[in-house]
Amino acid sequence: MDLRDDIAQILVKEDEIASRVAELGDQISRDYQGKQLILVGVLKGAAIFLADLVRAISIPVSYDFVAISSYGADSKASGVVRIIKDWDDSVVSKHVLVIEDIVDTGWTLRLSYLLENLRSRKAASVRVCALLDKPSRREMGVPIDYNGFLVEDKYVVGYGLDYNGAYRSLPFIGVLKPEVYGGG
């Protein structure tokens, strides 16, 4: 089975991703010059983006990962979030840049939880870098300080984004055919 057969449209090509990641890396390097920066990638989707981004940043940087999950009777409505995998290193007096694959509704990131949790640990600053921003689905205000691409309200996969654990390995961002996920 070729995963590409399930793609209706390529939204962002591999070379466009590489170019934008390089631009973000340059911008982040300038903005954090002389500062102690740690990238915190939100698992699992941001892992590929973080790996490429950290190589595009020209200043000393460390990185870690966090896994968060919504839960409750209706996770979308409850907004209750818990940390499944905490970051390993202290963020005290460090500048933290949270790396997300996509921000759509805003519930996954939960600034009132994840970002405030980082701030409560006495980080010097906490900001957000997202590969994809889907503002048409936003339910919660999420400040995105570094934005890769704006995307329409379509089911996107590839470059770390998945459907049922598949498609993360695709080197581009594509729209999944509705018949694959039951949306058509």
**Residue 59, in any domain of the structure:** yes
Q: What is the DSSP annotation of 3-51?
A: GGGGEEEEEE-HHHHHHHHHHHHHHHHHHTTTS-EEEEEETTTTHHHHH
From the candidates 52, 101, 104, 133, give the one annotated as an active-site residue.
104
Number of domains in the chain: 1
Active site residue 5: no
**Residue 132, in any domain of the structure:** yes
Instruction: Give me the domain span that covers residue 148.
Output: 14-152
**Residue 167, in any domain of the structure:** no
In this prediction, residue 114 carries a pLDDT of 77
Check: CB of residue 115 under 8 Å from CB of residue 141.
no
Low-confidence ranges of the chain (pLDDT < 70): 69-82, 105-112, 137-141, 184
Domain with 32 in it: what CATH number?
A: 3.40.50.2020
Tens digit of each residue's pLDDT (9 = 90 or more) over 113-164 = 778 888 889 999 999 999 999 877 666 667 789 999 999 889 999 999 999 9
**Residue 133, in any domain of the structure:** yes
**Residue 180, in any domain of the structure:** no
In this prediction, residue 75 carries a pLDDT of 36
In this prediction, residue 81 carries a pLDDT of 67
In this prediction, residue 138 carries a pLDDT of 64
**Residue 161, in any domain of the structure:** no
